[in-house]
Amino acid sequence: MSELVIAPEVAAALAEGRPVVALESTIIAHGLPFPANRAIAADLEDAVRSGGAVPATIAIVAGRACIGLESATLDQLAERGRAFAKAGATDLAVHLARGTDAATTVSATAVLAARAGIRVFATGGIGGVHRGDGSDVSHDLVAMARTPIAVISAGAKAILDLPRTLETLETLGVLVLGWRTGELPAFYTRTSGLALEHRVDDIAELAAIARVRFALGQGGILVANPIPAEAALDVATIDAAITEALAAADAQHVTGKRITPFLLARLAEVTGGAAVRANRALALANAQVGAELAAALVDQRATV
In this structure, the number of other CB atoms found within 10 A of the CB of residue 299 comes to 13
Q: CA 126, CA 176: separation in Å to the nearest integer?
A: 12
Catalytic pick among 24, 45, 86, 292: 24
Catalytic pick among 9, 157, 167, 292: 157
Please say if 257 is a catalytic residue.
Answer: no
Q: How far is CA 204 from CA 8, 20, 130, 197, 292, in A?
A: 29, 17, 34, 19, 9
Q: CA 182, CA 196: separation in Å to the nearest integer?
A: 5
CB contact set of 215 (below 8 Å; sequence gap of 6+): none
Strand 150-153 to 221-224 pairing: parallel
Angle at 224 between CA 74 and CA 289, to 5 degrees: 55
Q: CA 21, CA 10: separation in Å to the nearest integer?
A: 9
Q: How many CA atoms lie within 13 A of 36 on its CB side?
A: 11
Strand 20-23 to 54-61 pairing: parallel
Closest by CA to 2, choosing from 65, 73, 67, is 65
Please say if 86 is a catalytic residue.
Answer: no
CA 257 vs. chain centroid, Å, equals 16
Closest by CA to 220, choosing from 88, 85, 114, is 114
Q: Which positions are annotated as active-site residues?
A: 24, 157
